[in-house]
A and B are shown apart, each in its own frame.
Chain A
């Protein structure tokens, strides 16, 4: 499967993680449906909104790290995960 179209393990892991997150959030939503609420973000959001904002900002955090520094991207990943969790809990 991974040989097809030159898929690389990195990309496979990346999409597997995204798929897992989406799946987990779907199951979570079915088990305990969320209500729209307002946290520290200027708009009221649902859990899905916050996940979207978190993932999108994670992409930008990684790009920013690439653009301005030579630091390993694991740091960017750690920052992104921390930000995503903060966002999901208090956003």
Chain B
């Protein structure tokens, strides 16, 4: 039988394409357009070429917040991914206990960002917050509004509390999808627990881990609300991450051209890192 390929079904993608054009492409093009102009108001814009890019790239404050951002995202991934896998491995496989665990895990994910920030802001206070009060009662000098290290640890802890469940849920679903036969074969071979994890579970978790790493990287790289509510970027500017710097620039100072140039660089960094992660993980096996 001769099959004639018919590609007319592609036209059905058109509505999505139009939607994406309006929600993503045109705004992105607008940002590119703003980044080469100095805009004082409607009808009062001057073409400045690459001046904003030069300024942004030389800006010490932005470099510092970029470095801080990489440190934060690195720490988030280094903690949340192993922790999430660990939690998923320890969860019960089925029954009422499994459902209970899933509900408990999902609770932090349901809380809006600004509420998470507020919760931790109160939780960490030395006078009325359980966490801060407890640490102080133990004799530790903990104060997230005054001490840089404390502020960092609190922001990190908050993010771990908020988002590790997502990694754990993804890994849990990945683990449940492994056929029982694999474990039976491992048992026959008398494989150790570590060997089962290393050669059965981890390779089978690869695709969900790609998603988990990408989601957590992109989300943590664009974090705004939680540190903004918790520390306001302080003390000093020690927890001011990229998006907060950007917001101050775009809305606080109304420096649209500069902010646009900065957003584009921001976008390129996210694009590059995500692409590297994605390629590294998806090509790891293929090349062997």
Contact = CB atoms under 8 A, between A and B. Distances in A.
Contact of B272 (A5, A8, A60): A60
Contact of A5 (B30, B49, B54): B30
Given A6-B33, A6-B37, A43 B50 contact: no
A6 B30 CA distance: 9
Nearest to A6: B45
A56 B264 CA distance: 12
B268 A8 contact: no
Of residues A6, A7, A43, A67, which shows the largest number of chain B Cβ atoms within 10 Å of its Cβ? A6
B287 A66 contact: no
Contact of A10 (B36, B57, B265): B36
Contacts of A56: 268, 271-272, 275
B287 A5 contact: no
Given A44-B287, A63-B53, A11 B33 contact: yes
B268 A59 contact: yes
A43 B32 CA distance: 31
Contacts of A5: 30, 33
A7 B35 CA distance: 11
B279 interface: yes
A67 B57 CA distance: 6
Given A6-B33, A6-B45, A8-B36, A43 B279 contact: yes
Interface residues of A, number: 19
B57 A8 contact: no
Of residues A8, A14, A15, A73, which shows the largest number of chain B Cβ atoms within 10 Å of its Cβ? A8
A67 B58 contact: yes
Of residues A10, A44, A52, which shows the largest number of chain B Cβ atoms within 10 Å of its Cβ? A10
B37 A66 contact: no
Contacts of B39: 6
B262 to A, nearest CB: 12
Contacts of B49: 10
A38 to B, nearest CB: 8
Contacts of B50: 66, 73
B8 interface: no
Of residues B33, B58, B286, which shows the largest number of chain A Cβ atoms within 10 Å of its Cβ? B33
B47 interface: yes
A5 B33 CA distance: 9
Interface in A1-45: 5-8, 10-11, 14-15, 42-44
B258 to A, nearest CB: 14
A60 B57 CA distance: 12
A63 B33 contact: no
Nearest to B267: A59
Contacts of A63: 53, 57, 265, 268
Contacts of B272: 56, 60
Nearest to B52: A66
Contacts of A10: 36, 47, 49
Given A6-B37, A56-B275, A66-B54, 9 more contacts: A5-B33, A8-B37, A10-B36, A11-B36, A44-B283, A56-B271, A56-B272, A60-B272, A67-B54
27 contacts: A5-B30, A5-B33, A6-B37, A6-B39, A6-B45, A7-B33, A8-B36, A10-B36, A10-B49, A11-B29, A11-B33, A11-B36, A42-B287, A43-B279, A44-B283, A44-B287, A52-B275, A56-B268, A56-B275, A59-B268, A60-B268, A63-B53, A63-B57, A63-B265, A66-B50, A67-B54, A67-B57
